Amino acid sequence: MRKIIGILAILSIIYSCDSNLDKLVAENPYAEGTRKLNIQLVYPEGYESEVKKGVTIMVINPSNRVQYKLKTDERGFATIDLQYGFYRVTASDKGEPEFGGIMPLFNGSIDQTRVTDESTEDINIEIDFVRSYTNQLVIKEIYHAGSALVEPPATKNQYDKYLIIYNNSDKIAYLDSLCFGMVGSGYNAPSSPTPWSYMSDGQRVIMEDIPITLAAWQFPGNGNDYPLQPGEETVIAVCAAIDHTILYPELSVNLNVSGYWVTYDYGAGFTNASYHPAPGANLAGHYLRILSKWGAGNAYTLSVSSPALVIFRIQDPEGAVSYANQTKNPQNFSKEPGSAGATLYLMIPGSWVLDGVECFDAGTKYKRVPPLIDASYSLLPTVDQYKGYTHHRKIDVQATAEAGGRIVYQDTNNSIEDFEIRKSQSIKK
């Protein structure tokens, strides 16, 4: 009898242990080790009535690129349970058209929201929207990651970089005095928070005045010399304005094309013949000049991996050349915060920027550009470099239809939504 009871006891142990195993797969593993993040959108003064239900908030985990899309309720509020880590939170919205039919854009982001195990209480953050408007001139395409020979020895070519500026409006725009430059202390997206930022209520905020690194380039002209019609574009070769398809036929492009522009100012100090060879004959008279250059480098090295580019107009009453004169106006230059280095960077108010795009080679990098200009980033991973891949703005289908077939590109000042990666340059024949 005792033996039977003992056997039954052992069988009950087996059943009990099996039940414990079944309980494991029935439990939610995320019930522990998470905290609630509450997000409140705050519209700028005068636009409080724009608060609405259904605004998309993106919560991005940069370490694994997981993105959560939340929708606000009628109070502009959303909430989510998140595992420990740090997240980027970005939001964009369009407002009601204002006088003249101009539609305001609202963008906001917090680059590093920390979700930690220091407490079990909810984390409350506010995203302060910054208002901007869609611009006439937008950056349509950035090609920076280079090309290579398809067959061995697979020699790489990083000198065929370019960007395209496009007139996204229904009115004539002018390239005269338009400037462009790279943002940040270095060429590449940083692996730690940009020094041009500060902590506010536990969250990291990027400064709205942006530093231009290496040099600022400017189109020539007296105001009406270089028009760009609605739907027209112009290509700026950033290194060698030559026909790269001679040596790299499969993946590169011909930049020696009439109408293209090139960053070429030999006299200003960029004399490196690999980066800045004599431009092709078709680009005669289409040279961007250096507005301001600092440092002793002899080449304008647009980042192969992760540039942040802006186009801007200097709205100083004394003119762009004066504004960018370090001797005459040293207050317009600044050292890198917290750095002992002597390098000075030309500072541009964010409100002067017409358009900007932040490019990353990995989701784990840190932003350099404030949400006023670009709320997120466009990602071209390292493994896709030297393949002829390019960041290209998406077409706004509805706006294009409304424009009667003239292509209108999407412009919400949020690159993760506005841009896509294409596997070939748009100018490749």
- Residue from 53, 75, 94, 114 in contact with another protein (CB under 8 A): 114
CB of 168 to another protein, least distance (A): 28
| Residue placing its CB nearer to another protein in the complex, 37 or 240 | 37
Nearest alpha-carbon partner for 396 in 140, 132, 67, 131: 140
**Closest approach of Cβ 117 to another protein, in Å?**
3
Q: How far is the CB of 59 from another protein (least distance, A)?
A: 8
Single residue of 39, 51, 55, 82 touching another protein by CB under 8 A? 82
C-alpha to C-alpha distance for 248 and 148, rounded to whole angstroms: 6
* Contact between residue 403 and residue 367 where contact means Cβ atoms under 8 Å apart: no
| DSSP string across 317-382 | TT-HHHHT-TTT-GGGEEEPTT-----EEEEE-GGGEEEEEEEESSTTS---S-TTT-SS-EE--G
Output 28 or 327, the one with its CB closest to another protein. 28
**How many binding residues for another protein (CB under 8 A)?**
50
Residue ranges in 168-197 that form contacts with another protein under rule CB under 8 A: 192-193
Residue of the chain from 9, 281, 296, 342 that contacts another protein (CB under 8 A): 9
Does position 10 interact with another protein (CB under 8 A)? The reply is yes
Determine the interface stretch with another protein among 28-36, 156-164, 349-357, 386-394 (rule: CB under 8 A). Answer: 28-36
Rg of the chain (C-alpha set): 26
Per CB under 8 A, the list member of 105, 115, 163, 235 interacting with another protein is 115
DSSP state for residue 28 in the 8-state scheme:
-
**Cβ atoms < 10 Å from Cβ of 381:** 15
CB of 207 to another protein, least distance (A): 18
Q: Is-contact 17 55, C-beta < 8 A?
A: no
Q: How far apart are CA 143 and CA 32, in angstroms?
A: 44
77 binds another protein (CB under 8 A): no
- 151 near another protein, judged by CB under 8 A: no
CA-to-CA dists, residue 60 to 34, 151, 413, angstroms: 15, 38, 17
Give the one residue of 45, 74, 96, 117 binding another protein; rule: CB under 8 A. Answer: 117
Report d(CA 140, CA 162) in Å as an integer: 11
| Token pair recorded at residue 400 | 């294009």
Q: Does 16 bind another protein (CB under 8 A)?
A: yes
**Binding to another protein, residues 360-419 (CB under 8 A):** 383
92 vs 354: CA distance, rounded Å:
17
Q: Does 18 bind another protein (CB under 8 A)?
A: yes
Q: Which is nearer to another protein, 328 or 423 (CB)?
A: 423
Contact flag: residue 116 with another protein (CB under 8 A): yes
Residue 349: how many other CB atoms lie within 10 Å: 15
Cis peptide before 153 (omega within 30 of 0): yes
Least distance in angstroms from the C-beta of 67 to another protein: 5
Shortest CB 345 distance to another protein, Å: 19
Among 47, 68, 77, 352, binds another protein (CB under 8 A): 68
Element (H or E) spanning 416, and its range?
A: helix 415-418
- The least CB distance from residue 310 to another protein, in Å, is 26
Tokens of 367: 């932003």
Instruction: State both tokens at 122.
Output: 């909810």
For another protein, the binding residue among 38, 53, 65, 328 (CB under 8 A) is 65
- CA nearest neighbour of 270 among 247, 238, 243: 238
Tell me if 84 contacts another protein by CB under 8 A: yes
Which residue, 17 or 281, has its beta carbon nearer to another protein?
17
Interface with another protein (CB under 8 A), residue from 47, 77, 81, 325: 81
User: For residues 252 and 244, is the Cβ–Cβ distance under 8 A?
Assistant: yes
Residue 31 binds to another protein (criterion: CB under 8 A): yes
Nearer to another protein, 73 or 232 (CB): 73
**CA atoms of 422 and 362, how far apart (whole Å):** 17
Judge contact between 242 and 255, C-beta under 8 A.
yes
32 binds another protein (CB under 8 A): yes
Nearer to another protein, 29 or 317 (CB): 29
Q: Is 28 in the site for another protein (CB under 8 A)?
A: yes
The two tokens of residue 92 are 């964009």
Does 341 bind another protein (CB under 8 A)? Our answer is no
- The site for another protein (CB under 8 A) is made up of 2-3, 5-6, 9-10, 12-14, 16-22, 24-25, 27-34, 59, 63-71, 80-86, 114-117, 192-193, 383
